[in-house]
């Protein structure tokens, strides 16, 4: 979430950590490195999932030989795996030209999602999209810095009550009639 209060809500309500401390993980990303759902880079990495395991491995070998290379018409004509990736991308974007920077295929992208679902809008959702063989260490990498804030288990309910005053609760984070009903019922039972 790009909303720190939403992230705090998740840290306080995580099912697997109800009786444990919570954690807010902060990912610091340079604004220019944030991509939108319809960018060409996002399409390139997102369509990797459609390739078979062997095709991904061969493509990874191709880009490992020269990470600064630009994959273009030459690979498109001679490399079946690259051709298949371009085929998948063009199903989404028919105008796409077969030119991809090799390092982009193994990068991690922060993606601002399409605002077409109530939940994504309510949670100010963004996503990390991982390229071929990419990993993010606990410390981060060159483009993503990782920090953590621990939320003590005994502070969780107090923080949830404070967030509720600010309008951050199950009704607003998970917008649906069902969650709104649960929220109202719980407040009535508590006499609030």
For residues 192 and 163, the model is more confident at 163
Summary mean pLDDT of the chain? 89
pLDDT, mean of residues 142-154: 93
Q: Which residues of 81-119 are buried (b: 16+ CB within 10 A; e: fewer)?
A: bbebbbebbeeeeeebebebebebbbbbbbbbeeeeeee
pLDDT at 16: 64
For the stretch 39-90, pLDDT in tens is 999 999 999 999 999 999 988 988 887 778 888 877 777 888 889 999 999 9
Instruction: Please state, in angstroms and rounded to a whole number, the distance separating the CA atoms of residues 184 and 112.
Output: 31
pLDDT, mean of residues 103-108: 91
For the stretch 13-50, pLDDT in tens is 876 666 889 999 999 999 989 999 999 999 999 999 99
**Confidence tier at 110 by pLDDT (50, 70, 90):** very high
pLDDT, mean of residues 130-145: 91
Q: Is 69 exposed, middle or buried (0-12, 13-18, 19+ CB in 10 A)?
A: middle
pLDDT at 69: 81
Q: Record the pTM.
A: 0.80
Provide CB contacts within 8 A for 184, sequence distance 6+.
Answer: 171
DSSP bridge pairs for 130: 108
């Amino acid at each position: 979430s790009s909303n720190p209060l939403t992230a705090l809500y998740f840290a306080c309500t995580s099912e697997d950590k109800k009786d444990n401390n919570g954690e807010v993980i902060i990912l610091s990303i340079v604004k220019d490195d944030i991509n939108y759902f319809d960018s060409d880079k996002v399409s390139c990495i997102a369509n990797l999932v459609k390739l078979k395991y062997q095709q991904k491995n061969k493509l990874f070998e191709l880009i490992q030989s020269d990470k600064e290379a630009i994959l273009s018409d030459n690979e498109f004509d001679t490399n079946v795996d690259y051709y298949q990736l371009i085929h998948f991308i063009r199903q989404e974007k028919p105008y796409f030209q077969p030119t991809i920077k090799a390092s982009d295929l193994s990068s991690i992208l922060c993606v601002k999602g399409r605002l077409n679902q109530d939940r994504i809008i309510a949670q100010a959702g963004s996503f990390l999209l991982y390229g071929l063989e990419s990993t993010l260490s606990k410390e981060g990498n060159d483009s993503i810095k990782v920090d953590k804030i621990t939320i003590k288990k005994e502070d969780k309910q107090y923080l949830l009550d404070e967030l509720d005053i600010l309008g951050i609760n199950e009704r607003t984070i998970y917008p649906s009639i069902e969650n709104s009903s649960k929220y109202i019922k719980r407040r009535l039972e508590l006499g609030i």
